Amino acid sequence: MREGAEKIAGEIVDLVEEEEDLLFSFEVPPEAAGTRLDRFLAERPELVAAHLSRTRLKSLIEDGRLTIGPVPVRDASRRLAAGEAVALAVPPPEPAEPQPENIPLNVVFEDAHLLVVDKPAGLVVHPAHGHETGTLVNALLAHCGASLSGIGGVKKPGIVHRIDKDTSGLIVVAKTDAAHKGLSRLFEDHGRKLHLVREYLAFVWGVPERVRGTVEAPIGRHVTQREKMAVVSEERGRDAVTHWELIESFGAASLLACRLETGRTHQIRVHMAHIGHPLIGDSTYGAGFKTKTALLSPAARGAVEALGRQALHAATLGFAHPATREELLFESELPADLAALREALAGN
């Protein structure tokens, strides 16, 4: 039954959206048969150590954070049976209300409804556990000021899609509740019926055998490594589609244009690693390819080592304006570090 509990742990991970959620999984021992669910959890040493009171556990159960087997359970008084697999996802503490911070921004478009920012690598988009300050949201609060009319009744920027901390490039942010709802519908549609273009430039290891292709493979949370995503079964993952095209080859590496049809966490990074061409500089999904730097010239090797991040840039963003319906298209040049990498690889 231990394997069953681990399987359920993997499944519940895919049910929660916060990347920092903590997962606890248990198998009900024979001596605990007939025990109330909330009491059983309150007696688990792991949950005691996490300072989770019985009241807090009951609240988590009622919020749909617990499954028994494959079934979500919201009744804290439910009696348990021996051998049942119980999994509980505990979200991190809510960060403090973000405050305006004077962080420089490269705003490429702005009107009364929204703005488009060219985000530098290293900037976290939204405050979260471990990144409560110094984020794009903090910068936007200072930049927009009184021009924010409110998202859900609160004066804050509306984030409808995110870019990884160490990925650079274009991101659109809503300033009004109406724009937030319109952009949310747009990104949920994934460009199937509504106009949406998201194209990234990715430097990857190796040269694909074809000049273009499509990766269609479900993505879900890695079962044992919580910080990672992975290609998983259809039952455990969400559908994910990436279209790619070879732009330039450098012998040991290539530059690809990757167009997202869906927008899953780490999608391009996971899909490129899945087909054997992980991103250069990606320590999470391409760590096994570090030895490939030996195939590069000293200049190219130096550019890779100086990068310090995955070589991924959100270069093109196009969408229908939620208020005016005008079709907008924005393009961002490679930032200095990736431009230097391209030049070094071209001279390899």
Q: Which sequence positions are flagged as catalytic?
A: 164
Q: What string of DSSP letters covers 226-250?
A: TT-EEE--TTTSB--EEEEEEEEE-
Q: Looking up tokens 């231990």, which residue turns up?
A: 2
Residue 194 token pair: 């509504």
One-letter amino acid for residue 263 of the chain = G
Please report the sign of the dihedral spanned by the C-alpha atoms of residue 71, residue 73, residue 79, residue 82: positive
Q: Looking up tokens 């991924």, which residue turns up?
A: 312
Rg (CA), the chain: 23
Q: Are 86 and 40 in contact (CB under 8 A)?
A: yes
Residue 242 token pair: 């990436």
Of 248, 246, 238, 181, which is closest to residue 212 (Cα–Cα)? 246
**331: phi then psi, degrees, rounded to nearest 5:** -130, 140
- Angle between helix 336-346 and helix 298-307 axes, rounded to 10 deg: 160
Q: Are 218 and 238 in contact (CB under 8 A)?
A: yes
Q: Are 345 and 253 in contact (CB under 8 A)?
A: yes
Q: Is 3 strand, coil or helix? A: helix
Residue 170 token pair: 């274009």
What's the rounded Cα separation, in Å, for the pair 258 and 157? 27
Q: Are 251 and 238 in contact (CB under 8 A)?
A: no
Do strands 114-119 and 107-110 pair parallel, antiparallel, or not at all (unpaired)? antiparallel
SS3 content of the chain, % helix, strand, coil (to 5): 30, 30, 45
Q: Which residues pair with 80 in a beta bridge?
A: none
